[in-house]
Amino acid sequence: MLNIPEHLRAYVTLNEEEDVIDQFKCPVCGFRTQLGPGALRMHLLLKSDPKVETQYDSAHEEYMRTTEFTIDTVRVLAQFPRIDLKWTR
């Protein structure tokens, strides 16, 4: 089992064996991605920015005001093993 800090567990789903991160997830809306923690941070930033009218969501803005999902959080999450995306044509 991965030893992910408790305050970061809300951002990940693990595989069945709980030894790698399967997906990164948004604690506000359930958005999921395998692209990495940076993609999750970008999702949160875009959804919380009122200047991006086509994507803005007030719940995301409130969440980002009350959380510490910074670039350092991305760095910590990126250190854990995760399922790699396989690109196909």
Q: What is the pLDDT of residues 34-85, one digit of tens each?
A: 999 999 999 999 999 999 999 999 999 999 999 889 999 999 999 999 998 7
pTM of the model: 0.89
43: helix, coil or strand? helix
Q: How far is CA 34 from CA 13, 42, 50, 65, in A?
A: 10, 13, 26, 25
Which pLDDT value is given to residue 1?
A: 83
Region 6-16: what's the mean pLDDT?
95
User: Where in the chain are the domains?
Assistant: 6-78
pLDDT over threshold 70, residue 89: no
